[in-house]
Structure 1
Amino acid sequence: MTHDHDLVLRPTEAQTAAALAPPPGRTGGDLVVETLRGLGATTVFGLPGQHALALFEAVGRSDLRLIGLRTENNAGFAADGYGRLTGEAVPLLLSTGPGALMSLPALAEAAAASAPVLAISSQVPSPGLGGGRRGHLHELRDQSASFRDVVKSVHTARTPSQIPSAVAAAWESALTVPFGPVWVEIPEDVLRAETVIPQVTGMDATPHEAAPRPELTALAAHWLSHASRPVIVAGGGVIRADAAGKLRQLAELLDAPVVTTFGGKGAFPWTHPLSLQSWLEDRHTTDFLEDADVVLVVGSGLGELSSNYHTFFPTGRVIQIEADLGKLESNHPALGIHADARLALQALLETVTPREDPGAPERVASLLAAVSDRLAAQDLTLEQELLTAVRAALPPRSPSFWDMTILSYWAWSAFDPRHPNTMHSAQGAGGLGYAFPAALGAAVAEPDTPVLAVSGDGGAMYSIADLATARQHDLDVTWLIVDDGGYGILREYGCATGTDLTRPDFAALAASFGVPATVTTPETLRADLTQALKTPGPSVVVLPTTLKMFAPTHL
């Protein structure tokens, strides 16, 4: 009998010839590049630093496309945006110490949103490792310790021969569900040293599947098939698993209403008769979920925002499908199914008994009418009209990226994304400055599609430098900056200290980078945004206005 582990891949004649006569002058940096190319990478993000020069020189000798941003944090956000759109592992190349540490907020967002970012950082030369203080520039006693609690896994290569295996293991980890950022660390002398190791030609890193246990999906299917009032909560895991189609099939088989979390926007059609949309910060929705006798949660941990600030207390049975074991039953007891959303939904589709509930669309319409009536009782016409204008201007399949600003908070609940995987925001980790650099990464991933970024003036200041990146690579991103003179959302929380900001003339500043800019009004926003999105290359639209949030309903 032959077992899989007995099989040996024999080199081809060409591989053998190449191995016996490697090109001269190759370094550890070339081994990194060859491994990335062998795994399928075509694009890398990052910016060079002293200890990482051998890595960047190797990139320059290759056919990899380097998108160099102006700060490591923004490079990480750009890699995140590219990874969310493509589902591919995205190399992020970093230098030692301050450069590496600058990427932490971006990697935290990638971790919260399950974006497969492959961070590869240099380290001080090998003699400086081990916790001592040798006085190397950028030295940290244990650099990887700063990342270990943020990323999925940490990988090190201390010799050139370890580089291909370390990079491949990290690649596999990043793309094994739940997707997430990983960390690879290589000392400067290892990257710089010439090597006689053969060219990397046989790379393979197959992600592991997370299949559901059949006895669990059988019980879940039984509960759903015999439920009186089933409801589905669809999170970001549905988007990452490319499972929106299977979710819709299941909802229609069961006549089960569906609400999407803010990270799951687009997982279910906004105008479908069973769509509860995304009004999770509304007590009407919370009550609807609490009234359900079976709640199926797919690809969500029911965290703070998804549970209306932990005011959701289910009274019926809960089934939770979640690829991240740490999130499984972390907030509510449930029938926990540790699985990829796509595989689990397929298992349910093959097992459930269809049920009919002619009254379900009417209950959905009643809830949405109640939400609309609540908003109508507040003075919120401006905010709703602005979202309508943005939706009308944005092509249906164009990706949009939203920063932590009032218009984005509105969009989480009220914006129709039209299609799966087209609306993204920083609400996973909640850091400022996400939208514009992430949109740049998306524009690299989909160069023939206009991309929208939405920021407030406070968040925009984190990303101004990368107007130069947008111009340098001629990326088709329109950046809408809502200028209210400060951190408007913090004012909404009642904070008057440190929230008023001096800011530049954004239009003039954009023009100084060679990026066309328009100052618009609420009345002209739709036309100005439409024109900017139709015009190839980067552009900026500035909207001076002050917005309000709808009243909280979780108190």
Structure 2
Amino acid sequence: MTHDHDLVLRPTAAQTEAALDPPPGRTGGDLVVETLAGLGATTVFGLPGQHALGVFDALRRSTLRYIGLRVENNAGFAADAYGRITGEAAPLLLSTGPGALTSLAALQEAAAASAPVLAICSQVPTAGLGGGRHGHLHELPDQAASFRGVVKSVHTVRAQSQIPSAIEAAWKSALTVPHGPVWVEIPQDVLVAPTSIPVVTGGDAFPDELPPRPELTAVAAHLLSNAARPAIIAGGGVVRSDASGKLRRLAEVLKAPVVTTPGGKGAFPWTHPLSLQSWMEDRHTTDFLEDADVLLVVGSGLGELSSNYHTFWPRGRIVQIEADLGKLESNHPALGIHADARLALQALLETVEEREDELAPDRVRQVLALIAERIASQELTLEQQVLASVRTALPADSPSFWDMTILAYWAWSAFDAKGPNHMHSAQGAGGLGYAFPAALGAAVADPTRPVLAVSGDGGALYSIAELATARQHGLDVTWLIVDDGGYGILREYMTDAYGEATATDLTRPDFVTLAESFGVPAALTSPETLETDLTKALATPGPSVVVLPAVLRMFAPTHLD
């Protein structure tokens, strides 16, 4: 009897001949880039550094496209977005010590948002490893220890023969649900030494599937089929697993209203009769979800932003589908189903019974009307006008990337993403500087659509150097910078909490002149001309900057009503 796992692919005569006579001039760095190409990578991001030069030298002998950014953290954000847009593992090449550590905030965001990033970093020479201090430039006593609490998995290499297997294992880890960043570490001498190891010609790193346990989906299907007031919370896991279509079909079969979290934006059609949209930060939405007798939570850990700042206390039964075992039932007791959202939703579709509920769309309309009435009472016309102008200017199929800025906080609740995997923000880890470098990564991933980045002036200063990257590669990204003179959201928080703000006002450059000095066209706009100026910028190929001087306000904290 022969089992599938017993089958071994035999090399052809040509492969054998090539393996016995590898081309000269190759190093460990070539094994890195050959393995990446064999696994299907076409593009890598990063920055060179002294210990990593063996990999960068090998790049010129490969077919891989290299996109070099100016700061490692920004390179990580670009790789994060590339992974989100393509669904592929995005290689990120880093150098030892300071270069590696500078990427940590980006890898934290990738981990929080389940973005598949394959970080490959150099190390000091092998003789310098082991925890001592050998005086090497960039040396850390235990570099990998700085990343173990951030990435999914750490893979260390100490010999050239380990390179292909380590990178394949990391690739598989990054793409096994939940997706996430992984870390591969290779010493400098291993990268630069000549190699006689045959050329890496292929890769087999198919990710493991995570199907649901059938006895659990049977119970979940029974609960949902017999619920009187079912509701659904759709999180980022629905988007990452490409399960939006299955979510819609299940909601329609169950007649269950759906609300999407900030990470799940676009997972359910905004104008669907069952759509509660994304008003997670609203007491009316929270009340509605608390009243559900069966609440299906898909691809969300019900963290701070997805639970109205932990004021959400459901009275009914929760069914939680979550690929990240650490998030399963971490905030609320539930029928926990550890599974990929796509596979679990398919199992439910095959087992639930159709419900009849003619009043569900009416209940949705009532909640949305209460939200609209509440927002209208707060005199926030400017904020709604600016957000509406952005939505009108941005093509429906274009992705947008948002920094941690007041307009993004509005967008989490009030912006129609027009589809899954279209709207992305740094709400996973909450760091500044995400939007513009991430948008650059998205433009590399799909150059057929213009990409929008939205930052405040504070966040923009984190990534201003990447205007050089945008110009160098001619990337089709329009960057909207809302200039309110500082860290606007922190100014609001401090004023509300302490009566006045400290350390939130900033001296800024003239963003228009600065962008133009990089060779990037820029325009100063106003709330009245924003739609026109943004539409023009997005329609013009290549990078551009639009600066909007405006002080925006948040809507009142709805969880305190």
> Paired residue for 1:277?
277
The range that moved more, 8-17 or 155-164, is 8-17
Match of 1:503 among 498, 501, 508: 508
Is 1:551 the equivalent of 2:556? yes
> Paired residue for 1:217?
217
Contact 2:93 2:121 in 1 (8 A): yes
Deviation at 1:212, TM superposition (A): 0.4
SS in 1 for 2:537: helix
Give me the whole-angstrom Cα distance separating, in 2, the residues matched to 1:50 and 1:121.
Answer: 11
5 Å-filtered alignment, 1:259-338, equals 259-338=259-338
Q: Could you tell me which amino acid in structure 2 is paired with residue 465 of structure 1?
A: A
CA displacement, residues 225-284 of structure 1 (integer Å, 9 cap, x when unaligned) = 000000000000000000000000000001000000000000000000100000011010
Is 1:187 the equivalent of 2:192? no
5 Å-filtered alignment, 1:111-260, equals 111-260=111-260
Deviation at 1:14, TM superposition (A): 1.5
Deviation at 1:4, TM superposition (A): 3.0
> Paired residue for 1:483?
483
Is 1:520 the equivalent of 2:515? no
Structure 2 unaligned spans of 5+: 496-500
Give me the whole-angstrom Cα distance separating, in 1, the residues matched to 2:165 and 2:299.
Answer: 31
SS in 2 for 1:67: strand
Deviation at 1:533, TM superposition (A): 0.2
Deviation at 1:175, TM superposition (A): 0.1
> Paired residue for 1:380?
380
SS in 1 for 2:281: coil
SS in 1 for 2:528: coil
> Paired residue for 1:463?
463
TM-score by length of 1: 1.00
Deviation at 1:475, TM superposition (A): 0.2
Contact 2:172 2:207 in 1 (8 A): yes
RMSD: 0.6
Deviation at 1:84, TM superposition (A): 0.5
CA displacement, residues 509-531 of structure 1 (integer Å, 9 cap, x when unaligned) = 00000000000000000000000
Give me the whole-angstrom Cα distance separating, in 1, the residues matched to 2:383 and 2:3.
Answer: 63
Give me the whole-angstrom Cα distance separating, in 2, the residues matched to 1:115 and 1:420.
Answer: 15
Give me the whole-angstrom Cα distance separating, in 2, the residues matched to 1:104 and 1:507.
Answer: 30
Give me the whole-angstrom Cα distance separating, in 1, the residues matched to 2:206 and 2:454.
Answer: 36
Give me the whole-angstrom Cα distance separating, in 2, the residues matched to 1:202 and 1:474.
Answer: 32
Deviation at 1:6, TM superposition (A): 2.4
> Paired residue for 2:93?
93
The range that moved more, 281-290 or 10-19, is 10-19
Identity of aligned residues (%): 80
SS in 2 for 1:163: helix
CA displacement, residues 80-137 of structure 1 (integer Å, 9 cap, x when unaligned) = 0111000000000000000000000000000000000000000000000000000000
Contact 2:248 2:268 in 1 (8 A): yes
SS in 1 for 2:186: strand
> Paired residue for 2:537?
532
Structure 1 stretches (4+) deviating beyond 6 angstroms? none
Give me the whole-angstrom Cα distance separating, in 2, the residues matched to 1:417 and 1:66.
Answer: 30
The range that moved more, 2-11 or 400-409, is 2-11
> Paired residue for 1:371?
371
> Paired residue for 2:547?
542
SS in 2 for 1:321: strand
Contact 2:494 2:502 in 1 (8 A): no
Structure 1 unaligned spans of 5+: none
Give me the whole-angstrom Cα distance separating, in 1, the residues matched to 2:301 and 2:338.
Answer: 12
TM-score by length of 2: 0.98
Q: Could you tell me which amino acid in structure 1 is paired with residue 300 of structure 2?
A: S
Total equivalences in the alignment: 555
Give me the whole-angstrom Cα distance separating, in 2, the residues matched to 1:124 and 1:362.
Answer: 64
Give me the whole-angstrom Cα distance separating, in 2, the residues matched to 1:202 and 1:522.
Answer: 53
